[in-house]
Each structure stands twice: as structure tokens, then as C-alpha cells.
């Protein structure tokens, strides 16, 4: 359920043999292999990477998320299997038929969990998290007063510098945040598909050009874990996204988190969140299990 996150930043040729991912270094000819069943996400970064169609089929059959990066090594695409659960049809129906009041309540829970984790991170860094906790307490159904945006403004101004602006194409550390969030998004989308849900139908996010609205919803309370790693990278003196930074950000998605008084890998927590949402859609539960940053 946890799985590895593999990223390829050198010119490799990737193929499959006996359900093993066969990795051939084009420069040295060295060949190594990894079990596909133990793989969760593949980050395809180098422009000279090549792979076989048979490998892509095998990856999708094992519910592996494949992330493709552009010329700047930033993620530009995500591939997921069309079928990830034997009860998929019923779960699609439950998801499609979810009422507006239910989705508003689920978004309220999501925003509260995100803001509380942002507050916990500020406290962890000896900053001021209490104002955010008050905002979290005031979040209403559907976050009708947009406390998420208000909390974000207070959060980012404390987490980095007051002049910092969270932008996709912005200056450092935006590139580190973007990369970490892309890995998290892929892991979240994988958990959603495994739970038999459609990643394109969100609780709150809705965009006809976005195939992963639900992943963008469910990953929100997990974002502060990526933010924590980015702060650590800055404290180490990094000022650009390199191989070491990427490895640490990937490690954040594999690290332990606390969820419902249990401690375990984030990949497992994402699976619990996605299956919890499935139960909410089915009418057997009303609460989403999100992690609590300590």
C-alpha cells in the first residue's frame, strides 16, 4: 500500500520483464530492476528517458501514478489507470450523486484540517499559530466566508518573508513547493483511484480543464508537511531546486504522519482519507480522516 516513489533524472531506458521494472543506464549500460508491485509513483524527469509501451501497461495495471516533467524538470502531466477498484461503478454513482450539503460539509472539514495544520507548523517553528486556529474554528459549511484564503495570507507572511508571494512561476522557494505538491498530488490521485473514485470530480474544486480536482481537494491538509520540508531546505542553505532537494521532498510523502491517533506513512494516510471519502459518499460515515501535524 505504501510503495516507492522513483524519480529518474538521468538518461535511462525503462522496460518490463516478469513484472519487474528494468532500468538501463544509457551512459554506462548498467541494468538494475525494481518490483513494480512495490512502486507507487514514477517521476519521469530527464528529457532523454525512453520507455516501452508494455511497461506503461504494467504500471497502470498496478495502479502506479506516472508523473512527466517538462524541459525545466517541473511536473507537467500525470497518468493514472482508468480502473482501480472492483466496485468502481457503484462508487462512481455514489460520488456523482453526492448532495451539495454533504460536499459543503466535507469541504468545511477539509479547510479546517488544512488551517489547523498550518497553525501547528507555525507553532513548531516558534511563530504565531493561534490566529489561524481561531480562523479554523470559524469555518462554516462550504467555507462560505473564505477563511482558507484569509488563513493563507497570514500563514505565508509568517512562514517565509512578508514579501513572499505563493506563485506557480514565482521565485524560490516556489519551485520547491511546486515540486513537492506535484509529488503529493500524484500520490493523492493514486489513493483516490484505488478507492474507486473519480479524481476529476471534486468536493470543492471545479475546473473543466483540471482532471484532478478531487486530488487538489484532498491534498489540502497535507500541504503543510511539504511546507515544513521546504523550510528545512531553506534553513540548510538551498536556494534552488536540485537533486538533493527533490529527494528530500519525495521523502516527505513517504514519511510518517499522525492520523486518528495512529502513526504511519503518509501514503497510507492518503489511502485512509480517500476510502473515508468513499464511505461518506456511500452514506456510512460523515467525517473525513485527515492527518494532524504535531
How would you label 102-118 residue by residue, b for 16+ Cβ within 10 Å and e otherwise? ebbbbbbbbbbbbbbbb
Report residues of the chain scoring pLDDT below 50: none
291's grid cell: 492527518
Integer-rounded Cα Rg, in Å, for the chain is: 19
For 72-123, the pLDDT digits (tens) are 777 888 998 876 656 778 899 999 999 999 999 999 999 999 999 999 999 9
Predicted TM-score (pTM) of this structure: 0.88
The 8-class DSSP code of residue 10 comes to S
* Angle 59-60-64 from CA coordinates, rounded to 5°: 65
- Give yes or no for a contact between 233 and 243, defined as CB atoms under 8 angstroms apart: no
How far apart, in Å, are the Cα atoms of 107 and each of 32, 147, 184, 226? 44, 12, 19, 21
What's the per-residue H, E or C state across 130-144? HHHHHHHHCCCHHHC
Whether residue 10 contacts residue 25, with contact meaning beta carbons closer than 8 Å, is answered with yes
158 vs 78: CA distance, rounded Å: 32
How far is residue 6's CA from residue 125's CA, in Å, rounded to a whole number? 30
Each residue of 62-73: pLDDT tens digit? 989 999 988 777
- Show me where the domains of the chain are located: 4-79, 88-282
Cβ(39)–Cβ(22) below 8 Å? no
Q: Which fold has domain 4-79?
A: Ribosomal Protein L15; Chain: K; domain 2 (3.100.10)
Measured CA to CA, the distance from residue 177 to residue 160 in angstroms comes to 12
Predicted pLDDT at 71 = 79
Domain 88-282, CATH: 1.20.120.920
pLDDT number for residue 86: 60
Q: Are 226 and 177 in contact (CB under 8 A)?
A: yes
Amino acid at each position: 500500500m505504501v510503495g516507492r516513489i522513483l524519480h529518474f533524472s538521468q538518461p535511462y531506458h525503462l522496460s518490463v520483464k516478469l513484472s519487474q521494472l528494468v532500468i538501463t543506464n544509457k551512459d554506462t549500460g548498467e541494468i538494475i530492476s525494481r518490483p513494480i508491485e512495490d512502486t507507487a509513483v514514477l517521476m519521469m524527469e530527464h528529457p532523454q528517458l525512453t520507455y516501452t509501451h508494455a511497461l506503461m501497461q504494467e504500471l497502470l495495471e498496478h495502479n502506479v501514478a506516472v508523473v512527466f516533467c517538462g524541459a525545466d524538470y517541473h511536473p507537467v502531466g500525470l497518468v493514472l489507470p482508468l480502473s482501480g477498484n472492483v466496485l468502481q461503478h457503484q462508487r462512481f454513482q455514489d460520488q456523482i450523486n453526492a448532495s451539495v450539503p454533504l460536499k459543503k460539509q466535507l469541504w468545511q472539514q477539509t479547510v479546517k484540517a488544512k488551517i489547523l495544520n498550518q497553525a501547528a507548523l507555525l507553532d513548531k517553528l516558534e511563530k504565531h499559530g493561534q490566529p489561524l486556529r481561531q480562523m479554523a474554528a470559524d469555518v462554516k459549511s462550504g467555507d462560505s466566508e473564505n477563511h482558507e484564503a484569509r488563513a493563507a495570507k497570514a500563514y505565508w507572511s509568517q512562514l517565509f518573508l512578508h514579501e513572499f508571494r505563493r506563485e506557480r512561476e514565482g521565485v524560490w522557494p516556489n519551485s520547491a513547493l511546486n515540486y513537492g505538491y506535484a509529488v503529493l498530488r500524484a500520490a493523492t490521485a493514486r489513493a483516490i483511484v484505488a478507492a474507486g473514485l473519480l479524481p476529476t470530480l471534486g468536493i470543492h474544486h471545479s475546473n473543466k480543464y483540471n482532471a484532478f480536482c478531487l486530488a487538489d481537494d484532498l491534498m489540502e491538509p497535507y500541504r503543510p508537511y511539504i511546507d515544513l520540508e521546504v523550510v528545512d531546505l531553506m534553513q540548510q542553505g538551498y536556494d534552488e531546486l536540485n537533486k538533493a532537494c527533490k529527494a528530500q521532498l519525495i521523502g516527505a510523502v513517504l514519511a510518517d504522519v499522525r492520523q486518528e491517533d495512529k502513526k504511519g506513512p503518509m501514503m497510507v494516510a492518503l489511502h485512509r482519507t480517500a476510502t473515508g471519502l468513499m464511505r461518506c459518499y456511500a452514506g456510512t460515515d460523515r467525517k473525513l480522516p485527515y492527518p494532524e501535524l504535531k
